[in-house]
Structure 1
């Protein structure tokens, strides 16, 4: 079933687990996320960056919406890092049930103004809105970008931002980065900042750059108050590593021969993350 982010995360918040937002890049990744969510009886978020939406085209999401609507598992189709009001409106017209407007690089008041504008438009048709305060780092290995120096979310500013914008979920910057961390880069999450934010706001909190972070830190973040964790690079790396292996050993060119094992490799990562987030077998909570 296709549901709003508000509904999906309200159940997670009440029952103290998190839900994976998996960035898809084509139909193989959609299959991996949907089929593994069904196998694990775990709710899931299908997340799409604007560049991925442009690549897949608007019509593709008619298939995604139908596939998820026909499933007994609750799904959200979410726009990740929408950079403008037009990005958000495009996603809504494609049937997305959640959108992110990322004004984190704007001056604070401009971020408030843009986010409030998106909230007013999206809420009028029942679409949930995520925003971001602070900045997510960059490893240089992801199309989602990021900055060279992380600006941590200010807890007092987060409280003011949520009050003034009416946003449904907030992505917080506590030390993560998009992509796979290089060997000489060791992530360290500032969980004290997260705890302060969680004590000040009553909406679900989001962790971007969830790939390649230590499991124990992710588990602690979920315990403190993270309800949505974004995963992209870990899943895609497993998929394309398997694809390279297959193509290096064979001269096949039929997708139905090459890609099934790649999809299975992505599913392994998805299942591992769902276990870490404690979202496996949580579908029953949405049927009560």
Structure 2
């Protein structure tokens, strides 16, 4: 099947009490690992590209990689999504360039500006059957060009969501309920907690409407340990417990973003491979191991967190 937008897959996720994984892609190995796992588990998937990834790998290369994945996995519904588009211009460029879904991130702007620019993106995107995600609230942490300090983070105000969705016409909404971008989410001793009460209030105000969680990597300790064992210097970090994410996926959360867990899995495996095979210099060997690590990580997320196996 051709690339699809996110409308139908997120509607099915809402009705079925599961979430679709939105996995950030930067290169061929990541695309292959993600889509191979989804094909084997018969899971729908959103392949998302940040502004930073688009600069690194080039828009055209990334689109062609995703098109190849669609051809190789014809039974998997796939959407190509822009993650954290900071402007109308970037969203438009991605729509014109073959993306089937975009996120406009105006969460750093005053509420009125966020509404107006999101509405402008929606008006353009819907002409081309492209779905639009927007964000209310601010997540702490760092992801590419998105940097928000702990003091600036803000939970989503449930009192704003209905007005925002009505005025903008967006197709899904990312909210801030305690997740955080990047690997360093909480310090040891802190108790990670999702504000499921806020999620419930948002869901009651937007019945049937798909909600999105950013910053939802769990920072699995085995990969942090692997990175450190083979020469890394990552501090101890605690991510969002996977059982909390699964609970959110049973509620109104229909799309869960995963990026840091993939990066950690790849980095840990490559460090281990290079340590154990110091005389090897063929990138296909250590990148092949990294691709397998991505595949295994995505399969784990599908089975344990998302609940979308067999939903393609």
Instruction: Pick the TM interval, shorter chain.
Output: over 0.9
Kept in 2, the 8 Å contact 1:146–1:177? The answer is no
Structure 1: 4+ residue segments shifted above 4 A: none
What's the counterpart of residue 203 of structure 2?
A: 198
Cα offset, 1:236, TM superposition: 1.2
Aligned mates of 1:220, 1:246 — CA distance in 2: 36
Kept in 1, the 8 Å contact 2:28–2:65? The answer is no
Cα offset, 1:216, TM superposition: 1.6
Uncovered stretches (5+) of structure 2, i.e. residues with no partner: 219-239
What's the counterpart of residue 226 of structure 1?
A: 253
Aligned residue among 255, 262, 267 for 1:235 = 262
Aligned mates of 2:12, 2:251 — CA distance in 1: 16
Kept in 2, the 8 Å contact 1:129–1:167? The answer is yes
The number of residues matched between the two structures is: 281
> Does 1:22 find its partner at 2:2?
no
Aligned mates of 1:3, 1:57 — CA distance in 2: 21
What's the counterpart of residue 63 of structure 1?
A: 65
Report SS of the residue matched to 2:209: coil
Aligned mates of 2:155, 2:301 — CA distance in 1: 25
Q: How does 1:122-161 map to 2 (within 5 A)?
A: 122-138=125-141, 140=142, 142-143=143-144, 144-149=146-151, 150-161=153-164
Aligned mates of 1:119, 1:92 — CA distance in 2: 11
> Does 1:179 find its partner at 2:179?
no
Kept in 2, the 8 Å contact 1:49–1:80? The answer is yes
What's the counterpart of residue 309 of structure 2?
A: 280
TM-score (norm: length of structure 1): 0.94
Deviates more, 1:226-235 or 1:253-262: 253-262
Cα offset, 1:182, TM superposition: 4.7
Aligned mates of 1:260, 1:239 — CA distance in 2: 10
Aligned mates of 1:256, 1:192 — CA distance in 2: 47
Deviation string, structure 1 residues 58-107 (Cα, Å, up to 9, x no partner): 22112312422552110111000000111111211221100000000100
Kept in 1, the 8 Å contact 2:209–2:252? The answer is no
RMSD: 1.4
> Does 1:89 find its partner at 2:92?
yes
Aligned mates of 1:126, 1:253 — CA distance in 2: 45
Kept in 1, the 8 Å contact 2:140–2:148? The answer is yes
Q: How does 1:200-219 map to 2 (within 5 A)?
A: 200-201=205-206, 202-212=208-218, 213-219=240-246
Deviation string, structure 1 residues 27-50 (Cα, Å, up to 9, x no partner): 110011111110111111101101
Aligned mates of 2:71, 2:111 — CA distance in 1: 37
Report SS of the residue matched to 1:267: helix
What's the counterpart of residue 230 of structure 2?
A: none
What's the counterpart of residue 76 of structure 1?
A: 79
> Does 1:251 find its partner at 2:279?
yes
Aligned residue among 260, 265, 269 for 2:297 = 269
Kept in 2, the 8 Å contact 1:194–1:225? The answer is yes
What's the counterpart of residue 40 of structure 1?
A: 41
Kept in 2, the 8 Å contact 1:62–1:94? The answer is no
Uncovered stretches (5+) of structure 1, i.e. residues with no partner: 284-288
Kept in 2, the 8 Å contact 1:41–1:282? The answer is yes
TM-score (norm: length of structure 2): 0.87
Aligned mates of 2:16, 2:174 — CA distance in 1: 20
Cα offset, 1:267, TM superposition: 1.5
